[in-house]
Amino acid sequence: MGSGRRWLLLGAVAALLSFAAALWMLGRVGAQRRGRGGVEELRGSPREAGAVAGGVLPSGAIDPARSGGRASASEVVGEVFGRVVDLDGVAVEEGRLIVRCVGEPLSNGTAIALGPEGEFRGPGCRGEACVELVHMSLIPRTAWVLRAEEAALLVAKPLEVVEGVVVDPEGAPVLGARVWVRPPPGEQDPRALPPFTQGSAISDEEGKFRFSRVARPPCDPCAEARGRCSGSEEQEAMSFFGEIALVVRARGFRSAEVVLEVDEAKVWRVVMAAPVAAISGRLADAEGRAYARARIIARSRERSYEVHQALADETGAFVLEDLGDGAYEVRAIQDGVELARDDEVMGGATLSLAGPDAAGVTVNVRIMSETQRPVAGVSVDGGPFGGALTDAAGWVQATRVLPGPYSLQIAPPGRGPLRQPLMVTAGEAEMTLMVALPAAKARPLAAP
């Protein structure tokens, strides 16, 4: 055998040995990862994250859409994993975690969802990783700083809660009242923020509602680098409302607005009042014909936050209920086109609103592919279309459409939406719009 053939044979044997070794290593890594089905199967014992370590476990999928400012791929080493629990050891299922590498203060981090048992898994860092909890009513008990491949238990504590109750004039609880937080009247500080983590709440069967107060989480190295710890310029510049306005709406009552001091030591009490008489009426064109999709909107002229809506029925009749004192601006709208209005309407009034010709135009829209084939299941929204889906032949239809310009949003399955103008002209009984979808962009192949 010549020396050249011997070298080729030896090279082939070496390549086979290297390939077998790679397969063996992949099998070991896969077996290790398959074993991480729960906290009990993690390598080592989970330990509570303190100033140095903490983590939680799988099922929490990484959300690539929210990982914009992540550290470079060279900084990602291994994984962080474990569970998140509250002070009673109950799994935290809601919310998400934001993981940032220490030393990357400008990173937006990587978002990780929590699993049904509070478990999570995400990319680790070459050094330490800070973990932020995004939750409406919990914050970390201590700073969560993790190291890759170390199972850990993250313990969260509840935020302080301010409670209130909504009752009727006889003191009975009101179920299902919606409570909004608004700036107090005359608030002039543009930097002031609401003192709560949510902007609204709903009363329960006892009439109670709750707001969680904003609190600064424990300082970790990433927060310190971003200037978000106690004493930093950013924190010193923050201010919260000393008073807040609560706007309360409930079926069968007029809207209520009360201004209260932000004081966790007291329980807020909101007493609802009976509404004034409803505004009723009929909307029709000069021939007495009703409209196909008309909505009646009443906005209080004294309380900008108070808006009521009702659909006109097949005869054009409508009723606006749960009104308060004072005048209302009443508008009739169909597909974004104003049909009629009255600017000074008091509760108890009966209106007769007249609009333009209600006959309208029948509009047919057909969606075709770039190869001129009909596309089924395309969502068409905007104007007279309310999320209609094209049929097998690619058609959607709307009847009695009033003349005017409209903007449609067309969303083919699995692709981003596109805008399509639609001009409906008077004097036509029917019109057709043909829309050809642009060619889909080829997706780049994933790196091996």
| Structure-model confidence comparison of residues 194 and 163, the more confident one | 163
Residue 251 reports pLDDT greater than 50: yes
C-alpha 276/C-alpha 257 separation (Å) is 16
Q: Which fold has domain 39-158?
A: Immunoglobulin-like (2.60.40)
Q: What pLDDT, on the 0 to 100 scale, is given for residue 48?
A: 64
Spatial neighbors of 267 by CB under 8 A, at least 6 apart, are 163, 164, 165
DSSP string for residues in 109-125: -EEEE--TTSEEEEEEE
Q: For the chain, which residues make up each domain, given as ranges?
A: 39-158, 161-271, 279-354, 361-436
For 272-299, write each residue's pLDDT tens digit: 999 999 999 999 999 999 999 999 999 9
Strand partners, 161: 212
Q: For 99-116, what is the mean pLDDT?
A: 82
C-alpha 50/C-alpha 146 separation (Å) is 9
DSSP assignment letter at 276: B
Q: What pLDDT, on the 0 to 100 scale, is given for residue 216?
A: 85
Give the whole-number percent of the chain exceeding pLDDT 70.
77
Beta carbons within 10 angstroms of residue 364's beta carbon: 14
Burial letters 60-72, b for 16+ CB under 10 A, else e? bebeeeebeebbe
DSSP assignment letter at 190: T
Q: What pLDDT, on the 0 to 100 scale, is given for residue 343?
A: 94
| Structure-model confidence comparison of residues 121 and 65, the more confident one | 121
Q: What homologous superfamily does CATH list for 361-436?
A: Carboxypeptidase-like, regulatory domain (2.60.40.1120)
Residue 32 reports pLDDT greater than 70: no
Residue 110 reports pLDDT greater than 60: yes
Q: What pLDDT, on the 0 to 100 scale, is given for residue 23?
A: 34
Q: What pLDDT, on the 0 to 100 scale, is given for residue 68?
A: 37
Q: What pLDDT, on the 0 to 100 scale, is given for residue 52?
A: 36
Q: Is the pTM here over 0.75, yes or no?
A: no
Q: What pLDDT, on the 0 to 100 scale, is given for residue 390?
A: 96
Q: What pLDDT, on the 0 to 100 scale, is given for residue 105?
A: 56
Same fold, 161-271 and 361-436: yes
Q: What CATH class has 161-271?
A: mainly beta
- Are 295 and 319 spatial neighbours (Cβ–Cβ below 8 Å)? no
Q: What pLDDT, on the 0 to 100 scale, is given for residue 178?
A: 96
- How does residue 81 score in pLDDT terms, banded at 50, 70 and 90? very high
Residue matched to tokens 């009929």: 282
Q: What pLDDT, on the 0 to 100 scale, is given for residue 107?
A: 62
Q: For 34-48, what is the mean pLDDT?
A: 40
For 266-275, write each residue's pLDDT tens digit: 889 999 999 9
- How does residue 37 score in pLDDT terms, banded at 50, 70 and 90? very low
| Structure-model confidence comparison of residues 94 and 109, the more confident one | 94
The least confident of 39-53, 261-275, 319-333 is 39-53
Spatial neighbors of 25 by CB under 8 A, at least 6 apart, are none
Element spanning 26, H or E: helix 3-34
DSSP string for residues in 353-404: EE-S-S--EEEEEEEE-TTS-B--S-EEEETTEEEEE--TTSEEEEEEEPSE
Q: What pLDDT, on the 0 to 100 scale, is given for residue 295?
A: 97
Whether domain 279-354 has CATH 2.60.40.1120: the reply is yes
Residue 168 reports pLDDT greater than 70: yes
Q: What pLDDT, on the 0 to 100 scale, is given for residue 73?
A: 38
Q: For 127-143, what is the mean pLDDT?
A: 92
Tokens in use for 370? 């770039």
Q: For 153-159, what is the mean pLDDT?
A: 95
| Structure-model confidence comparison of residues 133 and 216, the more confident one | 133
The overall average pLDDT reported for the chain is: 81
Burial letters 383-419, b for 16+ CB under 10 A, else e? bbbeebebeeebbbbbebbbeeebebebbbeeeeeee
Q: For 165-191, what is the mean pLDDT?
A: 89
For 205-249, write each residue's pLDDT tens digit: 999 999 998 888 899 888 888 777 866 554 555 677 778 889 999
C-alpha 435/C-alpha 395 separation (Å) is 10
Residue 357 reports pLDDT greater than 90: yes
